[in-house]
Structure 1
Amino acid sequence: MKQYQDFLKHILKEGSDKPDRTNTGITSTFGYQMRFNLNQGFPLLTTKKVHLKSIIHELLWFVRGDTNLKYLADNKVRIWNEWPYKKFTQSEDYNNETMKEYVELVRTDEAFAKKHGDLGPVYGKQWRDFSGYDQLANVISEIKKNPNSRRLIVSAWNPPQLKDMALPPCHLLFQFYVKDNKLSLQLYQRSADAFLGVPFNIASYSLLLMMVAEVCHLEPYEFVHTIGDAHIYSNHLEQVNLQLSREPRKLPIMKIKHHDNIEDYVYEDFELVDYNPYPLIKGKVAV
């Protein structure tokens, strides 16, 4: 995906070194946009292997309005572990459990998961229950009834509840657009970890676009990714340069099953075809 490679190059060329909340240090720019035509293939990075299983399960977790780590732990998805584990280590119940031991407790002990596995009112809660309003169901209904609406919006940014979230939403607002029986989606992301997070965000929202298009009997067309603070963490610079040394390969194809209800989707409904990435490049998440 040349768009993503150009994004990394832009940050390295135009970015400034800044301190950040995690005390890791970043190279940061403000304001960037990428566009992905889904007719040209599914936008999953080929310059490094991306863990699609985690992306699908996380998206299904959002769609169902779930906010507890247990579903992700049951499916061996690790991308949210650091935040609730950090909170657990500060609780009176902490007894020097390792991250691995903590995740196993979430997976096997229902009472423990209920007490120490919840992430607060994060994405899924806001999508499905924004102060009692099911945004996702209503926007799908509106796409079907009034596809020319300019109000086809879902927001995860709920200011009074930010303090209760494990992490305030980074990808915080998305809007649908219908033209010529084709459905597009634009995401606004306030903060973007260019190396670790953005590849997941691109694939996740492209997949959401495909799911909503299926439910609404439309053709998925374009994913537009608009970013506020775009940054590369200082401990990812070596990995970014390695990735930029690799020539992007042909994009894979994503096949998904048709459902009339978005809540009916399960992991087995997705099939990725002809994915031929370069090897995985590891990087540590900043918490």
Structure 2
Amino acid sequence: MKQLLVLIFFIPCFAFTRVYATTSICPPCSHPYDTITYQQPGVCAHCGMTLIGKNQRISKDQKITVCFYLYDGVEVLDFAGPMEVFSYAGFKIITVAKTKAPLLSQGILKIIPDYSIKDAPQTDIFAVFGGSDEVATDDPEVISWIKSRDSATKSYFSVCTGAFILGKAGLLDQLTVTTFHKSITNLQKAVPKAKVLQNVRYVDNGRVITTAGISAGIDGALHLVSKLRGKEVAEAIAKQMEYDKYGPEQGMDLSHQVLPKTQTFNNQP
């Protein structure tokens, strides 16, 4: 009888341990130890990121692709912040400009685009950023190219005055949006059919996410990761980046679903 009781107690515990051992895993950070599983929650022994449930992470084979459209005079942190967030989330990022000629960001950083608008592949997410945004908004060829990708683009993401580029392409009409705090009035004039808010880090309309200026792009990017990868992943990335400012309550989520039914990610959890 005693042996039977021990067996009855041991089997459930063993089963629980086996299941539990496969539920804790490091968020994707593009290192070989992404696949290591742990028997209890905590932090990754290799990179220090907080562990998450294995079922909360999309397979690394199922990449979400993002196009970063860049131009001469683009603000460094506008795109560098979200790039850091998306790369930790395992998204595949490509950089695109009108041509493949080197760009200069803020007169400091030289950028060599991966593609031009002539050969850029389609991506799930299209992202634009602030700075000398008139370089893009005043270029009919660029705006026409953005419009031509709309039917296959699942989500739009803008940081700072990058919202003017989406607005010029007609993508902000009838939406509630935001931008750099000194450009609120100008964006409202440029896109009269939109409602432009101030004092908010980001606004999510479902398919279109716009953020306030510069560092707010990190908040918007973390929000998008939270939608597509899970809240725990976004929080782990914020912790890894030591971005203490992140607070979902500082943004405005107006979407009732991740994306419209006609624009869904096949690899969404």
The reply to whether TM is greater than 0.5 is no
TM-score (structure 2 length as normaliser): 0.28
Of structures 1 and 2, the one with the larger relative CO (CA 8 A, separation 6+) is 1
- TM-score, structure 1 as length reference: 0.26
